[in-house]
Amino acid sequence: MRRILLTFLIFLVSLKIFGQTELRQELENIIATKNATIGISIKNIETKDTLSINGTLNAPLMSIFKFHIALATLNLVDKGKLSLKQKIFIKKEELHENTWSPIRDEYPNGNMYLTLDQLLRYTVSHSDNNGCDILLKLIGGTETVQLFINKQGIKDFTIKLNEREMQTWESFYINSTTPLATTEILEIFYKGQVLKKKTTKYLYQIMVDCSRGITWMKAGLPEGTELAHRTGISDRNENNLRAAMNDVGIFKLPNGNHIILSVYLKNITEEREVTEKTIADIAKATWNYYTNK
């Protein structure tokens, strides 16, 4: 009986390894011909099934760091130092031009109040760069975020510049992380090990409400799939090189399991549409693997 059970267990393990080999090969085929350095990290939260390709790639964070900033901000809410209902005065001079900012577009004259809840939604759901820097100023700067993320046991994470300070090509590479580190922080966040239950649910939902990157990871998943994610993209330099394009998040499978997918592309010379499709194809391959097992 023991021999039969052992044989069966070995068979199950072999099926899992074979399946992962197929997924790994498909992902490698997707990225092999792309003119970019690509890092991928995948984890099934419930089964702990993992896969990574270039998982330790040191990649520019870009606007992915708005997730980490939100974590540090909501930690202060948990401690009672901030409130989602509190009003924050937004000065006109804080609404800088020549940057992505729905707040500025809606309130061009500034000098008005937004609640912390509104500011977080503009920053996380809609990637507002001015909102991001106002949040950072409110919580004590990038140092606050760096210390908080490190305290969660995340080592491969660096944040030194806000959005306004990322004005030069070299500055794009200063804030950085890895696909594996991103998957790790997303997992402990989802499990409620970073924030309280209420603030965890709140941040997860405003990530589900993300209006950016519709043709990226989201496009590779079936319509209606629950996806809580954050995107990030840099400009190009004079040589048509894009420093980074990233999409990281958690999507829900039909069986109720949750998949973390962290995708970072670095030093890209492909057209934007090609890069978007690359991320979508990675998401699609991951979805197909976990739904056809």
Active centre residues (catalytic): 63, 163
Contact present, 100 and 234 (Cβ < 8 Å): no
Token output for 180: 């594996």
Burial of 90 (0-12, 13-18, 19+ CB in 10 A): buried
Residue that the structure tokens 């009986």 belong to:
1
* CA-closest candidate to residue 221, choices 287, 134, 151: 287
Q: Is the dihedral of CA 71, 204, 130, 179 positive or negative?
A: positive
- Taking the C-alpha atoms of 68, 73, 175 and 30 in order, what is their torsion angle to the nearest 10 degrees? 20
Q: What is the CB-side half-sphere exposure of residue 135 using CA atoms within 13 A? A: 35
- Tokens 């890092």, residue? 39
Closest CA to 258 of 179, 186, 193: 186
